Amino acid sequence: MGKQRDTLEIRMLGELSVSYGKADISEAVNRSKRFRTMLAYMLTNRERSISLAELTEVMWQEDETDNPSNTLKTILHRLRSALSQLGLRNAAGCISYKRGVYQWTPTVRVTIDTEDFDRFCAAAEAAGEGAERARLYADAVKLYRGHFLPKNSHDAWVVPLDAYYHSMFIKAVTGCAEYLISSGSASEAAAICRDSIQIDQYEEKLHALLIRALIASGNQQQALEHYDYVTKMFFNKFGVNPSNELTELYSEVMKSSKTTEASLGAIIEELREDKADTGCFYCEFEPFRTIYRLEARAAARSGQVVYICLLTVSPMKGKKLRHDVLLRAMDKVRETVLKTLRHGDLFTRYSANQFLIMLPATSYEAGRMVMRRVTTTFRRAYPRGSVALSHTLQPIVPAALDRRAEEIRVEEASVD
């Protein structure tokens, strides 16, 4: 959208910004919440009149003020003074107040990024499928610098608008990236996804789009690396496993990474571990699940029992466990398991506070001894710990066999 002379430029996506030509009062506006709220609300609703009661509710929500009318007049006076510093024409009259009603003066011209964003998105929808739609969505994405009025994120009037603009941002990125991928410009799609992730790093859809774009552009290794990064980040932040969409993308990138024929000797060399390792083997949850199913089938044929153990970190004495303490404890669990278990054992991270361990070629008593060795190692290494480590041990039972195996709860051990 072209800029007009004598036009006040407002940004609300990312942070409230107020400028007029080269003059800028953003810092002064953001210094006071009341100041910021009044200006943002009046601009967002500048096409209609705002009653004293409505503005009072917006400004104070559930809080009370002794004299809202006089307080609002004081804020309005300060707001007009700040706008006057921009050199804006008619700054003193930008917000009118008459008979208990506030209104933005129509003669003060304004451009607002949220309105431009809306126009681009609406135009993209009207354009139908194709390059024009992708271009318009790309223009909308460029305007989205972050959440709507993030410093007012808990205000009741901001929440639904923030949700709306964020959903439209995800839709715009998706529409633009999918078109670019389908039209052979996957590298450009990946760049847009990376920029969008910088704005919202916890939106899983953006990470999935980036992985798809990397696969389509032939960057399978980067796709795998980003999958590993995302799964670890969501584990550490939210304690969740990757979604079905991410898991399917992982399978897709594994399939697409092998596109040329190779000799058996070359394949074996690729499969070989880089160096000899005497500790147990760690893998991500998805390959662990595949190995689990394979072991269950083998157990059905041979009758040999394979035990699986769940290690759980929890706070001592029912206290709430801080996130940073949990992260440190889980790192120590991993370190201890690597040092304590056998070369042929396998383990994975299952959730924010749990590890799964597979113990092949062992008996129940041997499995209990292994787990006791793990917990004893914790007690000795971290005797003054604030978290508890517990475990349950159970045999892998094939679907066709008896499902009545009992979980056996064993002692808890404290770790630092």
pLDDT of 157 = 95
Topology of domain 281-415, CATH: Alpha-Beta Plaits (3.30.70)
Q: For residue 408, what pLDDT band results from cuts at 50, 70 and 90?
A: very low
pLDDT tens-digit profile of 36-77? 999 999 999 998 999 988 998 898 876 666 677 888 888 888
Q: What is the distance between the alpha carbons of residues 179 and 259, in angstroms, rounded to a whole number? A: 25
Whole-number average pLDDT of the chain: 83
Per the model's pLDDT, the better-predicted residue between 58 and 277 turns out to be 58
- Please write the tens of the pLDDT for every residue from 321-374: 777 788 888 888 888 888 888 877 899 988 888 899 998 767 888 888 888 888
The yes-or-no verdict on residue 403 having pLDDT over 50 is no
CATH of domain 113-256: 1.25.40.10
Least confident of 149-158, 198-207, 395-404: 395-404
Per-residue pLDDT, 400: 47
Q: How far apart are CA 282 and CA 326, in angstroms?
A: 20
Cα distances (angstroms) measured from residue 120 to each of 105, 346, 400: 26, 52, 57
Rounded Cα distance, 16 and 6, in Å: 19
Q: What is the pLDDT of residue 342?
A: 80
Whether residue 405 has pLDDT greater than 50 = no
Pick the CATH number of 8-111 from 1.10.10.10, 3.90.650.10, 2.40.390.10, 3.20.20.370: 1.10.10.10
> Who's near 407: CB < 8 A, 6+ residues apart?
392, 393, 394
Which of the residue ranges 202-211, 291-300, 402-411 has the most confident prediction, judged by mean pLDDT?
Answer: 202-211
Identify the weakest region by mean pLDDT among 153-162, 224-233, 240-249.
240-249
Tell me the range of 64-68, 293-297, 411-415 where mean pLDDT is highest: 293-297
Higher local confidence (pLDDT), 300 or 171: 171
Domain residue extents for the chain: 8-111, 113-256, 281-415
Least confident of 53-57, 158-162, 300-304, 345-349: 300-304
Q: Do domains 113-256 and 281-415 have the same CATH topology?
A: no
214-234 pLDDT tens trace: 999 989 889 988 988 898 888
Q: What is the value of pTM for the model shown?
A: 0.71
pLDDT in the model for residue 413: 42
User: Stretch 82-104: mean pLDDT, rounded?
Assistant: 81
| One-letter-per-residue 3-state SS of the chain | CCCCCCCEEEECECCCEEEECCEECHHHHHHCHHHHHHHHHHHHCCCCCEEHHHHHHHHHCCCCCCCHHHHHHHHHHHHHHHHHCCCCCCHHHCEEEECCEEEECCCCCEEEHHHHHHHHHHHHHHHCCCHHHHHHHHHHHHHCCCCECHHHCCCCCHHHHHHHHHHHHHHHHHHHHHHHHHCCCHHHHHHHHHHHHHHCCCCHHHHHHHHHHHHHCCCHHHHHHHHHHHHHHHHHHHCCCCCHHHHHHHHHHHHHCCCCCCCHHHHHHHHCCCCCCCCCEECCHHHHHHHHHHHHHHHHHHCCCCEEEEEEEEEHHHCCCCHHHHHHHHHHHHHHHHHHCCCCCEEEEEECCEEEEEECCCCHHHHHHHHHHHHHHHHHHCCCCCEEEEEEEEECCCCCCCCCCCCEECCCEEEC
| Confidence label for 195 from pLDDT (cuts 50, 70 and 90) | very high
